[in-house]
Chain A
C-alpha cells in the first residue's frame, strides 16, 4: 500500500513552453502533498506544500507564478512549470502522507520527473 506515482518520468521541452507534472496517490487519500526539487548529487529542496482544496504554501525563494501547484482532489496534485527555461531543468519529486491511522511522519515518494529544458 501507500503508492505514489508521478507522470511523466521524464520530459524534454523547448524554452518558453509550460510543462505539467502529475502526482497521484494510488491507494490512499492524501490531504497534503509536497513538491521537491533535486539537483544532481544534491539533496531534496522543498518547493511547496500542496493542500487539497486550498492554495499551496511555497517555500521562501520559490516563484509562485513560475511553479503553479494545483491539488484538486485527494489523490492528485499537479506541478506546472510555466515558461520553462534551461535553469528550470531538474529532477522534481513529489511525496504524500497518508491520513489514515496514527501519525508516523512517513512520507511516500513518487518516482520523480526529470525535466530538461532546451
Chain B
C-alpha cells in the first residue's frame, strides 16, 4: 500500500516570502502521479500542481513549483512570493491508476498561514 507523509503539520510565512512544504511517499510502483492540492478554509479543494513520475523535469505553475526526487521518493512544494490567499491546508497526494478507478492517497496535510 502506498503511504504519503507530510512531516510539517503547520507552517507560517511572511507575505511575499518563499516557503517550502515537504512530502515523502512510499511505493513500489514505477509509474504514478503526484499532486499538491489546496483546501482553503470552508472552500473546495483545488489542484495546485501535478507531476508525472516518468517526467524528470520538475513541474511549475506560476508561483508554485515542485522538487521531485524520485529515487528519494520526495515531492516538496515551493511557494514563491507568498500571498494572503495562499493561506490554506495543503495536501500532498499520490495516484496509482487501477482498473477499478484511480485511487488518490493523501498525506495528513500542512496548514499554511501567510502573515501580512
Given contacts A43-B106, A43-B108, whether A51 and B101 have CB atoms under 8 Å apart is yes
Q: Which residues of B contact A43 (CB under 8 A)?
A: 91, 106-109
Q: Which residues of A contact B37 (CB under 8 A)?
A: 109
A61 CB to nearest chain B CB (Å): 12
- A49 contacts B108, C-beta separation under 8 Å: no
Chain B binding surface SS class: strand
- A109 contacts B108, C-beta separation under 8 Å: no
Closest to A50 in B: B101
Chain A contact residue count (CB 8 A cutoff): 24
- A111 contacts B43, C-beta separation under 8 Å: yes
A45 to B109 CA separation, bound complex (whole angstroms): 12
Query: Using a CB–CB distance below 8 Å, which chain B residues touch chain A?
Result: 33, 35, 37, 43-47, 50, 52, 91, 95, 97, 100-109
Query: Using a CB–CB distance below 8 Å, which chain A residues touch chain B?
Result: 4, 32, 34, 41-46, 49, 51, 57, 93, 95, 97, 103-107, 109-112
